[in-house]
Amino acid sequence: MALTALNPALASLDPDALPDDGTDPGDEEAHAVEVRQLQVPMDLHTSRLDKALAELVPEFSRSYLQQLLGQGAVQLNGQAVQKPAAKVKLGDQLTVAMRPTAQSQAFKPEAMALNVVFEDEHLLVVNKPAGLVVHPAPGNWSGTLLNGLLAHHAGAVQVPRAGIVHRLDKDTSGLMVVAKTRAVMDALVALIAQRDVSRRYLALGQGGWQGAPMQTVDAAIGRDPRNRLRMAVVDLQHSPGKTARTDITCLSTTTAHCLVHCKLHTGRTHQIRVHMQHLHHPLVADAVYGGAAEGGLQRQALHAFALQFVHPITGQDLALRAPPPDDFLTAAEKLGLQYNCPP
């Protein structure tokens, strides 16, 4: 990581006074300081300083930037400031001294073959393969979709999270929409919040389907109180969580398995996986929620096959589809399920 001291006064800051980022004290590069000069734009006028920093330096977490504030590593118009709640104004000059971290170095372009099913100057829709992590995180600081987007188009570096507005789990395949500008990102986030983006999935579940072909699961989801690494259906009167609703339609069933179509009305973490478990149909190969590996699958049998929304700039009605990948179709066949793409 190339480091340039843009402000000589800050170039001499003691790096050991900065927050611990897990680097080896004996590593020479861990003692280097990167200094960034930033200017407050109109959309951040009167914002809190910590919020402005989080927007202007998106590759660092807000908590890390707050630690930098506390260590006196941030200057506002040439004066050191330590209050996260300090207000900034249009045109204010911010100077931030930082040590490189695994997190910051993760935000770099990496050329990769992206399966783009739609693209214009405003946004793109990609068909993400199973196994591809969407966003850098501990254990996956490189080789993510975000890294690929940074290499795909130059403007991605100017957009928070490279324009990613929603996520798919690492082992879930399928369609994702990505913004190419900040204005489009804000518009897409608003569409998703208003439930104006239709997202539909195909899944393979364990257990033969019973009852009505279409069933709506309207059950809140929160952190599983017995296992903090999982989500679970919760009672909001007794546990924290958020409302969640999924329409699930059986497309094919045997006595032991079912192929279902899922339509999301909300977008909670692991929503389909949790709601299918709630119906006693955990997804095939979803070990986190009790699904056994069958049909040759080694990842949860979930694919985002359809995405529909009105283009926020052109007004075009985009209705995009991606057929399930070969591993999904092969597993369905081995389990005796008949695949017919839903209308």
pLDDT at 306 over 60: yes
- pLDDT exceeds cutoff 70 at 67: yes
Of 330, 202, 208, give the one whose Cα is nearest residue 280: 208
Reported as a single tens digit per residue, the pLDDT across 85-132 is: 999 999 999 999 876 556 667 789 999 999 999 999 999 999 999 999
CA nearest neighbour of 160 among 267, 227, 60: 60
pLDDT at 48 over 90: yes
d(CA 38, CA 79): 14
Note the pLDDT of residue 26. 29
pLDDT for the residue 101: 59
Among residues of the chain, what percentage have pLDDT more than 70? 89
Q: What's the mean pLDDT when you consider all of the chain?
A: 88
- Note the pLDDT tens digit of each residue in 260-277: 999 999 999 999 999 999
At residue 147, the 3 state secondary structure works out as helix
Stretch (H or E) spanning 249:
strand 245-253
Q: Are the C-beta atoms of 200 and 262 separated by less than 8 Å?
A: yes
pLDDT over threshold 70, residue 1 = no
Instruction: Determine phi and psi for 149, rounding to 5 degrees.
Output: -65, -40
- Tell me what pLDDT residue 79 has: 94
If one compares 29 and 58, the residue with the highest pLDDT of the two is 58
Instruction: Examine the pLDDT at 11 and tell me if it is beyond 50.
Output: no
What's the DSSP call for residue 281? -
Q: How many other C-beta atoms lie within 10 A of the C-beta of residue 315?
A: 7
The residue count of the chain comes to: 343
Q: Taking 50 as the threshold, does the pLDDT of residue 24 lie above it?
A: no
Residues 51-77, mean pLDDT to the nearest whole number: 87
Would you state the structure tokens that stand for residue 276, as one six-digit string? Answer: 């299918």
Q: Does the structure show a pLDDT above 70 at 17?
A: no
Q: Quote the pLDDT of residue 32.
A: 55
Mean pLDDT, to the nearest integer, of 193-199?
A: 95
Ranking 29-38, 196-205, 247-256, 331-340 by mean pLDDT, the lowest is: 29-38
Does the pTM exceed 0.75? no
Q: Which of 69, 140, 65 is nearest to 110 (CA)?
A: 140
Strand partners, 302: 203
Choose the weakest-confidence range: 22-26, 53-57, 190-194, 258-262.
Answer: 22-26
Distance CA 281, CA 97 (A): 51
pLDDT of 29 above 70: no
Lowest mean pLDDT among 52-61, 122-131, 192-201, 216-225: 52-61
What is the number of alpha carbons within 13 Å of residue 8 lying toward its C-beta?
A: 0
Q: Which of 125, 132, 140, 188 is nearest to 160 (CA)?
A: 188
pLDDT value at residue 98: 79
Q: Which residues contact residue 14 at a Cβ distance below 8 angstroms, ignoring those fewer than 6 apart?
A: none
Q: Quick one: tokens of 98? A: 């930082």
Please tell me which residue in 16, 43, 169, 317 is annotated as part of the active site.
169
169 is catalytic: yes
- pLDDT tens string 153-179: 999 999 989 999 999 999 999 999 999
Distance CA 263, CA 247 (A): 5
Q: Residues 6 or more apart from 219 whose CB is under 8 A from it?
A: 233, 244, 275, 278
pLDDT band, residue 300 (cuts 50/70/90): very high
pLDDT over 90 at 340, yes or no? no
